[in-house]
Amino acid sequence: MSTAYAQLTRTTDPGELVDLYEGLPEDLPSLCRLIKAQLIHPDNTDRFKHSLKSAKREDARFDTVADMLEALEERNANGLLMDRAPNERLILSCRYHALLLLSILRSRNVPARCRVGFASYLSDRAAKHVDHWICEVWNDREERWVLVDPDREIVDIREGFILAGDAWLMARNNEINPRLFGAKTSWGLSYIRNNLCHDMSAILGREPRYWDFPPIGKQAIDGSNEEALQLLDELAIYLQDPDANIASVRRLHAENACLQYEE
């Protein structure tokens, strides 16, 4: 396990507002509850329709955790409160829940990283797997990574979540129907491909935005592009064990411009 995942990134650095993390809970279940007290997922605004002045999604407003903390301070300057009023929270999707948990943990030198994949527990339709971003947190006592979903307040996920690399390989081996993987009106192998690239970027220490894609993410996914398919196969295999294969992931990324996001 690399200690690099305990280091703050540009996206997760709280900046001058790091003092907001003083006195916060230590355990993961409590931290997940705390994060849900700061953020409302756009798909869940109906639960607070009588308390919100606006239910407008705010994903595009924020690039970093520092930006999020500044906005939370503007809405209520008393810190990251467990009883923050709904109209003082930010309306942000799963990526931002994950970033906030990463920021808190990394500020404590706890190794943690974003993982991108698909969750069946987000859908009420059988076999549907919805685009989802969660965290992977190092459990030092048990010496293993633990999947944590701060949006749904689930710690140590054992089922219902498939990492993008696993979904890609399963689709390529005809073990799943790729059209059951995606979100909203967009489903299929290209969506799995995009999440595979996002997961690679997170493993390499850069948490991308939903709408950021490397060149390969803009290419057609069909039989005419066998070279790209094989490259993604190789990447997905490496991401099944990113710690053991981190050198190979870095090499693949460095040698293939089509995998490189714009800075």
Nearest to 158 by CA among 145, 170, 168, 139: 145
Give me Rg for the CA atoms of the chain: 18
Q: pTM of the prediction?
A: 0.95
Q: What is the pLDDT confidence band of residue 1, given thresholds at 50, 70 and 90? A: low
Check: CB of residue 110 under 8 Å from CB of residue 162: no
What does 56-113 look like in DSSP terms, one character per residue? ---GGG-SSHHHHHHHHHHH-TT-S-TT--GGGSEE--HHHHHHHHHHHHHHTT--EE
Per-residue tokens: 11: 């996206």
Coil, strand or helix at 163:
strand
* Phi, psi dihedrals of residue 244, rounded to the nearest 5°: -70, -30
pLDDT exceeds cutoff 80 at 10: yes
pLDDT at 242: 98
Average per-residue pLDDT in the chain? 95
pLDDT exceeds cutoff 80 at 236: yes
What tens digit of pLDDT does each residue of 128-155 get?
999 999 999 999 999 999 999 999 999 9
Q: What is the pLDDT confidence band of residue 56, given thresholds at 50, 70 and 90? A: confident
Residues of the chain with pLDDT > 70: what percent? 99
pLDDT at 55: 74
CA distance 242 to 32: 25
pLDDT at 162: 98
